[in-house]
Amino acid sequence: MNFNNFTIKSQEAIQQAQQIAMGNQNQSVETGHILKAMMEVDENVTPFILQKLGVNVNIFKQAVGKIVESYPKVTGGNQYLSQNANKTLQKASSFLKDFKDEYVSIEHLLLALLSTGDTISQLMKDNGVKEKDMKAAIQELR
């Protein structure tokens, strides 16, 4: 994974996800860490898109926090990206062509999180987030 192809904000979100995982004694960086980090480092794009899609951002943040707290705690060992987190980053990179972009942005990460099929993906779907609507919100943002 070449993080030079990520925007500064996306790089900050991935770094923050690692910090959140470390702070919670989670050995693997999960999609929940990535989403929580995105909401911490990006006060504009992520909340705008979620609100545009009718998501109550405060309740959504709390739900993400509970998911992150539920991850297994481990002491020692090296930190690594979980399979779903890795899939998310790869999927985000694949969206570059769809949007004719050069760099993986927060929008790409948010869209990729929706397609992982894990608890974060399900949380987003349970809150009414649909890929088609998210793509429309992203286009409007540009």
Q: How far apart are CA 45 and CA 18, in angstroms?
A: 21
Residue 80 lies in a domain: yes
Q: What's the pTM value of the predicted model, to 2 decimals?
A: 0.94
Segment 64-112, tens digit of pLDDT? 999 999 999 998 889 999 999 999 999 999 999 888 899 999 999 999 9
Q: Rounded to whole angstroms, what are the CA distances from 112 to 22, 25, 78, 130? A: 23, 25, 25, 12
The Cα 5–Cα 90 span in angstroms is: 11
Q: How confident is the model at residue 19 (pLDDT cuts 50, 70, 90)?
A: very high
On average, the pLDDT of the chain sits at 94
Whether residue 140 is contained in a domain is answered as: no
pLDDT-above-90 percentage for the chain: 83
Query: CATH code at 130?
Result: 1.10.1780.10
Give the count of domains, the chain.
Answer: 1
Which domain range does residue 67 map to? 3-135
In a domain? residue 41: yes
**Residue-level pLDDT at 92:** 96
